[in-house]
Structure 1
């Protein structure tokens, strides 16, 4: 059933936001976000039914090789510009759009981060708060940041076999602190396979951005 604002159905504007995100139309996204604000439309619903659905479609297109990395980055940047208009409204109403907090980083010794950045874009587009620690992240930094920020998921990537061996050290340190069972561990990267992820005690292997989002939804729904 359409949401009504002063008697006017607003589902149409959610569809327009979706289309503008998918088509990477910056001007239209900014205009529509302003319309949501000016008409008093619920910003949380606009984000859920317009922005998030649009980014989910972007993720599907990327997985199907219909679009490429620059297209995905452009869509994410446009989405964030629109969200910047709506975030003050969320604060004033007390509404929350984040469906979970995820700590993300490339493991110590590894400077590759393109894959990690794609995962970040897709997780943010799906409504998760992502804290990106960057690349070449020290094992103990993952542990310290977990204790400080208490994320729901820690995502660790590696692109080389000689750096992926550092991932189990994060898990072991969490065990020593007695907090391993309080957080989900997602691992990924070209050499990281599901069997190895299970062997080291990770909760899952996100072998693509689409799979990473799927795991997050499964764990945090």
Structure 2
């Protein structure tokens, strides 16, 4: 039998390397050997995806790597949840993501949404060409912590500022963290229009969003378990 730390490391590596079948087999063996499901979630699943986010942000991992790791993470989560008879509620925070009105690009948006979900956020991905009113309405509806917007065209960048101004007009600006990104967007632009976070890629977005939650006292317990959905 492998020692506890080696089991955990093997599971982490399998997830980080996108080996879904390998991760499943390792977790099943670890559970059979008496390793607790919550330990696997705390020490393997979430830490593995944090590492993927860091590697992606540093250009050490690429989009296909992230997709494979995400699939491995999903398989691993199901195995652990089934073994415990519980459902993991990812309650780090809630994010609403969208590409702004007039912009039909959604590849980067979907990647950011996936990375946020993998590090513990509940994510509502509204897709592309989303109006300021619709975005804010959704954020209010789901009691979001973060509004994440993408613009891939210089002609649609002003829509980001439009959302921020509408938040201000509604007296809601301080309620949300506004995170923005996209090919033409820069940190200087984010600062000028009053956004809270500028992110250059999906991995960085996940790490910065998580850091913001922690620094602003909104970071809930990442792992809460509800028996039978209660």
The interval holding the TM-score normalised by the smaller chain is 0.7 to 0.9
Q: Deviations over 1:57-111 (max 9, x none)?
A: 323333444442122111111211221233456774x864431111111111111
Specify whether residues 9 and 213 from structure 1 end up closer, same or farther in structure 2 by C-alpha distance, changes over 3 A only: same
Show the counterpart of 1:19: 13
Could you tell me which runs of 5 or more consecutive residues in structure 2 were left unpaired when the two chains were aligned: 215-230
TM-score, length basis structure 2: 0.81
Give the structure-1-normalised TM-score: 0.84
Q: Could you list the structure 1 runs, at least 4 aligned residues long, displaced by more than 6 angstroms after superposition.
A: none
Aligned pair in 2 of structure 1 residues 15, 102: CA closer, same or farther (>3 Å)?
same
Aligned to 1:62: 56
State how many pairs are aligned. Answer: 213
**Unmatched 5+ stretches in structure 1:** 1-7
**Does the C-alpha gap of structure 1 residues 109 and 38 become closer, same or farther in structure 2, counting only changes over 3 Å?**
farther
CA deviation map 1:108-134 (0-9, x unaligned): 111112222222232222222222111
How many Å separate the matches in 2 of 1:87 and 1:55?
A: 17
Paired residue for 2:106? Answer: 113
Deviation at 1:32, TM superposition (A): 3.3
CA RMSD across the alignment: 2.4
Say whether residues 1:47 and 2:41 are aligned partners: yes
Cα distance in 2, alignment partners of residues 178 and 95 from structure 1: 34
